[in-house]
């Protein structure tokens, strides 16, 4: 009687064994392919010992020879031979075309070979770098920037090498127009470049020049980064460039001598918008009471301190700062103070104080020429009784 095959899970055991063998063979082939790729990259001579016709290994051998001894003519000749061998087996090897360009004595011939490599692939950064250098040597600004663009679109590896050069070139009047035009369309890397400017030691003046040129071109879309740099420059004491950056980031707000006098829309670019000093024993916050926004300053123990400040741009002459103040329900009426002082230039320091229950506070000052911009500050005086005190402020105006 013929022996019947036992079925396992609906499949013949011979079929299961066959699939197992296929999977094992596939895994082995994959591992060998990965190993071969690694060997081509690191030890191409080993691959060429077994297969001299391996175009990838020949191209990599040429590349490594040039990287190790670019001045040794014997090594250069070996690199040339390897590159030619690679192209005879596979004419699409970009690295081989690039190696041939590197060993050329004639710059125009080298450029032609690099253009062939670029025609095969624009995604090879080293080819683009070589073409970039050629364009720079020939004074072709637009051409060089095209190769910058090609590199930065496909890789972030060269950011730290190329961005410092672009930052420096951005202040050159011979380069700036072409750079700005390129940045206007370089959505793939423009923000990375602006982030580099913000995080590096690039001078604020340099940044302001580049951003101003972008604004004139009508393409300054990364205003959040520009606003951050306006804050950093200003708080670092660079008021001139800080104001320039502020005007670029938020031109509408920059036209106002004082912003958001009712504390209705906190969140602008500091310190050109209000900076709340909530900390210590003084609680500072905005609130809306009976439909009216206001700033509230409260001290549970009667402590005083700065509540809020803003950098304002009042022109020279007689000026008056006024505000509505009031007592917070449930608190003892605190004493509000207001000061106006020069941020730089001719010193002035005008101040005033008033109890919250009087309803109004006014600071009068004569601002001399050169006193620009100014710090405007509101705060709460210490309560001698040590009891809980507070006050609110709203309706701040500059006349």
On whether residue 248 sits in a domain, the answer given is: yes
Contact 312, 376 (CB under 8 A): yes
On whether residue 164 sits in a domain, the answer given is: yes
Same domain, residue pair 370 and 280: yes
Instruction: Give the CA-trace dihedral at 210, 214, 220, 223, to 10 degrees.
Output: 20
Same domain, residue pair 249 and 289: no
SS3 of residue 299 by DSSP: strand
On whether residue 249 sits in a domain, the answer given is: yes
pLDDT at 378: 96
pLDDT at 216: 86
Same domain, residue pair 159 and 251: yes
What token pair was written down for 330?
């449930």
Which residue has tokens 């070996």? 78
Same domain, residue pair 244 and 177: yes
On whether residue 103 sits in a domain, the answer given is: yes
pLDDT at 32: 41
Show which of 223, 255, 287 is a domain's final residue: 255
pLDDT at 65: 81
Same domain, residue pair 282 and 390: yes
On whether residue 20 sits in a domain, the answer given is: no
Peptide linkage before 271 cis (omega within 30 of 0): yes
The total of structural domains in the chain comes to: 3
Show which of 225, 255, 285 is a domain's final residue: 255
Same domain, residue pair 208 and 243: yes
SS3 of residue 249 by DSSP: helix
On whether residue 270 sits in a domain, the answer given is: no
CA separation (Å) from 53 to 58, 90, 108? 8, 9, 30
What token pair was written down for 39?
């060997």
pLDDT at 311: 97
Q: Which of 382, 327, 386, 379 is nearest to 358 (CA)?
A: 327
Same domain, residue pair 291 and 190: no
Strands 389-398 and 332-333: parallel
Same domain, residue pair 185 and 282: no
On whether residue 351 sits in a domain, the answer given is: yes
Instruction: Give alpha helix (H) positions in 69-124.
Output: 73-89, 94-102, 107-120
241 CB-contact burial (10 Å; exposed 0-12 / middle 13-18 / buried 19+): buried
| 66: containing domain | 38-121
| CATH assignment at residue 52 | 1.25.40.10
Q: Which of 114, 89, 112 is nearest to 99 (CA)?
A: 114
Same domain, residue pair 299 and 384: yes
What token pair was written down for 64?
């490594």
The alpha carbon of 300 is separated from its chain's Cα centroid by a whole number of angstroms, namely 42
Contact 307, 297 (CB under 8 A): yes
- Dihedral of CA 379/384/389/392: which sign? negative
Instruction: Give alpha helix (H) positions in the chain.
Output: 13-42, 44-50, 55-68, 73-89, 94-102, 107-120, 125-137, 141-154, 159-169, 176-185, 190-199, 204-216, 223-235, 239-249, 251-254
| CATH assignment at residue 386 | 2.60.120.260
Same domain, residue pair 247 and 284: no
Exposure string over 322-339, b if 16+ CB within 10 A, otherwise e: bbbbbbbeebbbbbbbbb
Classify the phi-psi angles of 53: left when phi > 0, otherwise alpha if psi is within -120 to 50, otherwise beta.
alpha
Q: Which of 321, 261, 269 is nearest to 292 (CA)?
A: 261
Show which of 255, 287, 312 is a domain's final residue: 255
d(CA 308, CA 320): 18
On whether residue 304 sits in a domain, the answer given is: yes
- Dihedral of CA 367/370/373/379: which sign? negative
pLDDT tens per residue, the chain (399 residues)? 455 545 445 555 655 555 545 555 544 444 444 444 545 565 776 777 777 888 788 878 878 888 888 788 888 888 888 888 888 899 988 888 888 888 888 888 888 988 898 898 888 888 888 888 888 888 899 999 999 999 999 889 999 999 999 998 888 888 988 998 888 888 889 999 999 999 988 899 999 999 998 888 877 888 999 999 999 999 999 999 999 999 999 999 999 999 999 999 878 999 999 999 876 778 999 999 999 999 999 988 878 889 999 999 999 999 999 999 999 988 888 899 999 999 987 788 899 999 999 999 999 999 998 899 999 999 999 887 778 888 999 999 999
What is the number of other CB atoms lying within 10 angstroms of the CB of residue 196?
Answer: 18
Same domain, residue pair 90 and 199: no
Same domain, residue pair 308 and 214: no
d(CA 249, CA 215): 9
């Amino acid at each position: 009687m013929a022996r019947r095959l036992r079925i396992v899970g609906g499949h013949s055991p011979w079929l299961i064994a066959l699939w197992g063998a296929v999977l094992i063979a596939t895994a082995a082939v994959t591992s060998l392919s990965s190993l071969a790729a690694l060997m081509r990259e690191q030890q191409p001579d080993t691959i060429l010992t077994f297969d001299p016709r391996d175009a990838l290994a020949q191209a990599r051998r040429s590349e490594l020879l040039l990287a190790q001894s670019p001045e040794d003519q014997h090594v250069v000749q070996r690199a040339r031979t390897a590159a030619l061998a690679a192209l005879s087996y596979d004419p699409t090897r970009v690295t081989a075309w690039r190696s041939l360009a590197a060993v050329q004595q004639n710059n125009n011939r080298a450029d032609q070979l690099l253009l062939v490599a670029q025609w095969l692939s624009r995604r090879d950064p080293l080819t683009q770098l070589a073409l970039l250098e050629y364009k720079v040597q020939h004074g072709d600004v637009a051409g060089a920037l095209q190769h910058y663009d090609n590199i930065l679109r496909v890789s972030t590896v060269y950011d730290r090498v190329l961005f410092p050069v672009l930052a420096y070139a951005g202040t050159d009047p011979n380069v700036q127009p072409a750079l700005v035009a390129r940045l206007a369309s370089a959505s793939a890397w423009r923000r990375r470049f602006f982030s580099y400017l913000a995080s590096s030691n690039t001078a604020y003046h340099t940044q302001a020049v580049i951003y101003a040129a972008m604004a004139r071109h009508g393409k300054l879309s990364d205003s959040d980064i520009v606003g951050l740099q306006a804050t950093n420059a200003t708080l670092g004491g660079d008021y001139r460039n800080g104001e320039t950056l502020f005007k670029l980031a938020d031109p509408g707000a920059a036209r106002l001598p004082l912003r958001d006098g009712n504390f209705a829309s906190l969140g602008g670019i500091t310190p050109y918008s209000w900076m709340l000093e909530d900390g210590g024993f003084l609680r500072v916050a905005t609130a809306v009471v009976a439909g009216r926004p206001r700033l509230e300053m409260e001290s549970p123990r009667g402590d005083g301190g700065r509540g809020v400040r803003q950098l304002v741009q009042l022109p020279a002459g007689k000026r008056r700062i006024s505000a509505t103040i009031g007592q917070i329900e449930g608190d003892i009426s605190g004493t509000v103070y207001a000061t106006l002082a020069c941020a730089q230039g001719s010193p002035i320091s005008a101040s005033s104080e008033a109890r919250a229950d009087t309803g109004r506070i006014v600071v009068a000052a004569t601002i001399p020429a050169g006193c620009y911009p100014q710090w405007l500050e509101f705060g709460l005086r210490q309560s001698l009784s040590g009891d809980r005190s507070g006050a609110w402020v709203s309706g701040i105006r500059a006349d």
